[in-house]
A = this chain, B = another copy of it.
């Protein structure tokens, strides 16, 4: 197995190479001033199982880099190509919400199915996107690692998901921390006011961990945090797998009163403290 690091996942690729006891390729990657990408793999590749590790936080740039990488690898005669995209761009456009729009991740799944043999990702927004791929689509789960990271700081832990849809994530984190879980519910209490509170449980005196797959703009999460503190929560940690954190999201969360914001390195950011290398290595090692 040879690990091929993409422009965005240099450290992650190095870690995975160590954990899988694999060769780490020397890759020349650059982006020209006009925006075009150039890649070149300096290793002998013939007959090898190649694993590209390239998270897609630079969206269209990462997608095209993957397309170019796969072509280079095929042309050098690799035996197989696994594309590891810990954050999979466009995974949230997974349904046709309106006539005339594409299911973006389906369009890209077709592209990937033509250029590689297997795809690995971490916590895709919805798992049904698997159906769009004509190749094996494998996903790892970073929630236990996030819970473990936050757990050491929580004396009286309680896990919440931001909505009913994500309650499965909260359940997995709660199992890890051996505590209760619930989901947040938004209720309108007047034409101008809303209340966000756990559906069933009381947060008073608790150390709350809110978990989600993605924090994007952070708006609702910030409001939820400040309301939980009003309801008596002692501390609130906001955790997510993919800290997309658009614009001033991190600032909003801090202002909301979060005692910590934590994500994984599927999406490089200031809070990407949890490394997903072991999750990827376990999948690659067939465990």
Whether B72 lies near A101 (C-beta < 8 A) is: yes
In the complex, A115→B102 CA distance in Å? 13
Q: Are A89 and B36 in contact (CB under 8 A)?
A: yes
Would B63 and A107 count as touching, CB distance under 8 A? no
Report if A101-B38 is in contact (Cβ < 8 Å); known contacts: A106-B71, A111-B67, A114-B114: yes
Residues 264-286 of chain A: 1 if any B CB is under 8 Å from the residue's CB, otherwise 0?
A: 00000000000000000000000
In the assembled complex, the Cα of A101 lies from the Cα of B35 at a distance in Å of: 17
A208 to chain B, nearest CB (A): 27
| Complex Cα gap A70–B108 (Å) | 11
Neighbouring B residues of A41 by C-beta, 8 Å = 100-101
User: Is A15 interfacial (CB-CB < 8 Å)?
Assistant: no
A104 touches B71 (CB 8 A): yes
A188, CB-defined interface residue at 8 Å: no
- CB closest residue in chain B, given A108: B67
A-B contact pairs, 13 of them (CB 8 A): A34-B216, A35-B58, A36-B59, A39-B101, A40-B101, A41-B100, A41-B101, A42-B100, A43-B100, A64-B64, A67-B107, A67-B108, A68-B107
In the assembled complex, A117 has its CB within 8 A of some CB on chain B: no
* A98 → B minimal CB distance (Å): 6
- The answer to whether the Cβ of A116 comes within 8 Å of any Cβ in the partner chain is no
- Cβ-closest chain B residue relative to A97: B40
Distance of A42 Cα from B216 Cα, bound (Å): 27
User: In the complex, which residues of chain B have a beta carbon less than 8 angstroms from the beta carbon of A61?
Assistant: 35, 60
Q: Are A59 and B75 in contact (CB under 8 A)?
A: no
**Contact residue among B38, B89, B99 (Cβ-Cβ distance under 8 Å from A93):** B38
**Would you call B59 and A72 a contact (CB within 8 A)?**
no
Residues of B within 8 A of A71 (CB): 102-104, 106-107, 110
